[in-house]
Structure 1
Amino acid sequence: MSTKIKKNEKCLLCLKTGTAIIYDESTPQNKACFACSIKGVKESSEIIKVELEKLKKENKEVYKLRIQEIKIRFAEGKDELEKLKTEYPEFKSELEEIRQENLKAIPEEERDEVGGEKPTN
């Protein structure tokens, strides 16, 4: 993944010209402002939480596999966000908010294996 941040471009979700647009270079049609990116991550985390609650009740094996998959995705995303924080220090707080929202998808009892991180409210 090669994520970039550009200034003064149009968000393709809310159609506003934002101070910063975050996107993956491999899918430039997915440009989104930080507000839309954070909203999308929150929505995704909620969907994952509901999915995991259902799996935990219905199929513990699949639940554990899904948790591992989410942890891998979180670790990859965390590395990318850390790189972006270095490249674009002026957007550190927005990038940290995205990281925190991603972390919320992982149930608290499973977070110890993700470096013991807990989301800040």
Structure 2
Amino acid sequence: MKDILYNPTYAGFLRYNRYEEWDTKRRKRYNPKYIMVEGSHDSIIDEELYEKVRDRLKVESKYPKRNNRGETGLLRCPECGGSMAASNTTNVLKMALRRRSATTVVLTFGIK
């Protein structure tokens, strides 16, 4: 639902030059200076509602929600006693040791 409300196409607009090629290997990247014009198609969402959703999502993206995993801080490293935090990346449960330095120890379990 959020994607529909945030998509300018449903509000009656069209975007041009949204991506730009930047390498000889056909790589594309997002162009922040894309062109948005009013389309000839009928809009599904009011322009007022579209603007309200955009404003609200901009505020929410500035303040992301914290990780509320229950196991964070409960597990301790057997070597140094530091607290460990869970991270679910690529559908594999990983326990990472939080340190104050730039290095991080990651223990990967075969749990999916």
Q: Which has the higher contact order (CA 8 A, sep 6+)?
A: 1
Larger strand share, 1 or 2:
2
TM-score clears 0.5: no
Normalising by structure 1, we get a TM-score of: 0.21
Structure with bigger gyration radius? 2
Larger helix share, 1 or 2:
1
Normalising by structure 2, we get a TM-score of: 0.22
